[in-house]
Chains A and B, each alone.
Chain A
């Protein structure tokens, strides 16, 4: 059985960092894994999603339509852009951070509200959870960009992501510079704590 995870967001939100952390965590857990990234435009505030597939033996680097087990969305418009991979068995864990594309102001198109996005997700799956991830991270003095780790903490605690905390923290220790590691570990814990409620 292959587990299919999508991480989506806007370039600069830490999508690739999170993908690398989860990939490394899977490697530590002893499973096979593929992480499909896109570079180049990743830091240019563009739409960005990565496919992470893990299990005994992984073939295709890309997830099939409606085939995700979990979607971690760092920004809500990009959740709408990745609904292609969301089916009735998909859980969606979404941060509420706004990142309005400037083009919407110019074209006079409204940026969807959290409720509107939830209503659209519900057409595909009933399993939707939202969190003010960035705000929660900021409440302990961490930067907005650690929202990715916060949501990962939630996903692990709620068993939405079949990985152990120790594998995630080991991967973080492996990949993150010392300067930011401690803050990120705290944010992970906070996400886990908040998930319990």
Chain B
């Protein structure tokens, strides 16, 4: 990762799209970077976190995406070049502050880099196409199609933003964010980290937008973007293949373009391809020129028919008889793949893909057993869910939220009855507590608590409901790659800071009953859950236990071996408690049905020994001093 900073001009590095964006920003002389982690964009922030100190710039993991946006905007107000990054749902959180920014304007160049996630590889809530945001935000949107363009566009985006005085959006998708490819580096530029907020800007009415002036600013913005399409449309548009005499062509952007090139090559079809690097404002002239001589066009894009509708609109003037294909042949859901685009193009061109069809038929007959992601061995969430579920009446509603604990959706836990958005469990559980007679338990993690969980708890107290809130405090933002949060005591720059105390905060919110339990103590969690469920009003149970991955890494560094456990076959009755209800992936059955613990995967939490109905599980190798205790 260090090379992203030390790499010289002309050097080639293998970089993720996310990492390439960081290099591009550093080449543009960025001085401030902020984020709230979210996969697939997490590595943008993580790379800054690793490099910021050495690069002499400022970086922070903010409490949420809205705050992160405000931090980067402030830098840009003060004339410092800045970048903020998040995943698509993070953009949703940030919109309240993003949308006014173009009206308001920036002095330093500011890029908002975000990643959509077609196919929902890391996004449980919705398959969102955020391209539409560019239109509402009145900001240019750049769409790189590989890591090289990620780097180049990040740099160009910051420069363009500064020139225009409005932030620039860079939209990537999972396959861009998480594909490593070769990037040729440019020259680094030392960014300034201190600017000013000069009095004259305070006086300029532009910076204090109010009606009726805001309506005029709106018109100005639209004019600015229309002008940008004319001045920069060509610069961000790539035409490949020959247009001469062509009757058919493809319009595409982002990673979809790679599948389009692949399909043309596979089928031996020669056709021009227009790839849009700037999808907003639309390079109308370039699109019109491209479609004018064509009879038929295929728009290759993932998710919604955003470009297709625009092409249809532009064709009315440029080529009314043009046949437009897109979502008649390609899916609106799921990510595109080379085979999907190949099949679409083949069917359009009347070509048969016999081998591929045969292959698909063979695959359909396979029916391989399933595998789904599970909690790691020793995960504090597993033991918390197991004990809370055991202690709760059958009709209990379990509110779910965003984090590793979302895996509680699956069997055998089934302790995430709904998952909507960051912190939403608290609002919804309050509502359910008001509208049902069922016991309601709201689960959320430590980082989610700080991000958007607090207002929901305040609301419970204010409006008098009585759920039990269980805060799963695993001392880190785990799912997205172990970033620190306000409860951890370390900043994104690696500096020590105040460790915010969740118990104190919930108490200050007016919750009278706040209990902290050890995530690895089954009996204590069961007992506390039962007691708290009987109490009226809002109750908070903080289940504290370090993420086992992190703990293991820490112990390994310290040279401390963790204990492992084993099952005494003479005592084991094969009741299924440890496998079927606790669900630890380290516990297995051999061919004769005997239970055993796979020593390669036992991470030594010892909770199985606590829950075993026959007392058959015991320590195999004892921990060295201090090992295994959390």
> Which residues of A are at the interface with B, using a C-beta cutoff of 8 A?
10-12, 19-20, 23-24, 27, 32-41, 43-47, 58-67, 77-78, 80-81, 83-84, 87, 100-106, 109-112, 120, 123-124, 143-144
Contacts and interface: CB of A to CB of B under 8 A. Distances in A.
B295 interface: no
B175 A36 contact: yes
Contacts, number: 164
B180 interface: yes
A69 to B, nearest CB: 15
B411 A106 contact: yes
Of all A-B residue pairs in the complex, the 8 with the closest CB atoms, nearest first, are A46-B373, A40-B122, A80-B368, A40-B39, A64-B338, A35-B180, A61-B179, A44-B373
A103 B372 contact: yes
Interface residues of B, number: 63
Interface string B506-544: 000000000000000000000000000000000000000
Most-contacted residue by chain A among B355, B366, B580 (CB, 10 A): B366
Contacts of A78: 371
Contacts of A37: 16, 178-180
Nearest to A179: B556
A144 B598 CA distance: 12
Nearest to B374: A45
B80 to A, nearest CB: 30
A81 B370 CA distance: 9
A47 B369 CA distance: 12
B180 A20 contact: yes
B362 interface: yes
A19 B39 CA distance: 19
Interface stretch (B66-74, B192-200, B254-262, B448-456): B254-262
B566 interface: no
Given A35-B180, A44-B407, A83-B363, 17 more contacts: A20-B180, A33-B14, A33-B182, A34-B181, A37-B179, A37-B180, A39-B42, A43-B376, A46-B374, A61-B181, A64-B262, A67-B338, A87-B355, A102-B374, A102-B585, A105-B588, A112-B368
Contacts of A144: 600
B393 to A, nearest CB: 23
B400 to A, nearest CB: 16
B375 A27 contact: no
B43 interface: yes
A123 B368 CA distance: 14
A38 B404 CA distance: 16
For the complex, would chain A's binding face be called helix, strand, loop or mixed by DSSP majority? Answer: loop
A106 B363 CA distance: 25
B14 A104 contact: no
B221 interface: no
A165 B342 CA distance: 35
Most-contacted residue by chain B among A12, A43, A62, A83 (CB, 10 A): A62
B421 to A, nearest CB: 17
B588 A100 contact: yes
A83 B366 contact: yes
Contacts of B585: 45, 101-102
Nearest to A105: B579
Given A60-B261, A77-B368, A105-B580, A44 B404 contact: yes
A87 B14 CA distance: 29
A105 B259 CA distance: 40
Given A34-B180, A61-B258, A62-B175, A41 B370 contact: no
Nearest to B578: A102
Contacts of A109: 369-370
Contacts of A83: 363, 366, 368
Contact of A61 (B13, B40, B175, B266): B175
B384 interface: no
A103 B372 CA distance: 8
Interface string B342-355: 10000000000001
Most-contacted residue by chain A among B42, B182, B376, B410 (CB, 10 A): B182
B571 interface: no
Interface of B: 12-14, 16, 39-40, 42-43, 121-122, 146, 174-175, 178-182, 255, 258-259, 261-262, 265-266, 337-339, 342, 355-356, 359-360, 362-363, 366, 368-376, 404, 407, 410-412, 479-481, 549, 579-580, 583-585, 587-589, 600
A104 B579 CA distance: 10
Contacts of A102: 374, 579, 583-585, 587
A103 B262 contact: no
A38 B121 contact: yes
26 contacts: A27-B14, A33-B14, A36-B178, A38-B178, A39-B481, A41-B122, A43-B549, A44-B373, A45-B373, A46-B373, A60-B262, A61-B146, A61-B175, A62-B338, A64-B337, A67-B338, A78-B371, A81-B368, A101-B371, A102-B587, A103-B372, A106-B412, A106-B580, A106-B583, A112-B368, A143-B600
Contacts of B13: 27
Contacts of B589: 105
Contact of B337 (A24, A41, A62): A62
A193 to B, nearest CB: 24
B374 A44 contact: yes
A101 B370 contact: yes
Contacts of A58: 181
Contacts of A67: 338
A63 B585 CA distance: 31
A138 B182 CA distance: 35
Contact of A59 (B262, B337, B371, B375): B262
Nearest to A145: B600
B42 A27 contact: no
B75 to A, nearest CB: 28
Contact of A45 (B362, B376, B411, B479): B376
Contacts of B179: 34-37, 61
A112 B369 CA distance: 8
Contacts of B370: 101, 103, 109
Contacts of A63: 338
Given A59-B258, A66-B359, A105-B579, A46 B371 contact: yes
Nearest to A67: B338
Contacts of B12: 27
A80 B178 contact: no
Given A47-B371, A144-B600, A103 B180 contact: no
Contact of B182 (A32, A87, A101): A32
Contacts of A105: 579-580, 588-589
A100 to B, nearest CB: 6
Nearest to B265: A59
A47 B600 CA distance: 18
Contacts of B412: 106
A73 B16 CA distance: 23
A124 B368 CA distance: 15
A68 B399 CA distance: 43
Contacts of B362: 123-124
Given A23-B180, A40-B122, A120 B366 contact: yes
B366 A106 contact: no
A113 B142 CA distance: 49
B11 to A, nearest CB: 11
A105 B575 CA distance: 12
Contacts of B366: 80, 83, 120
A43 B342 CA distance: 32
A40 B371 contact: no
A157 to B, nearest CB: 24
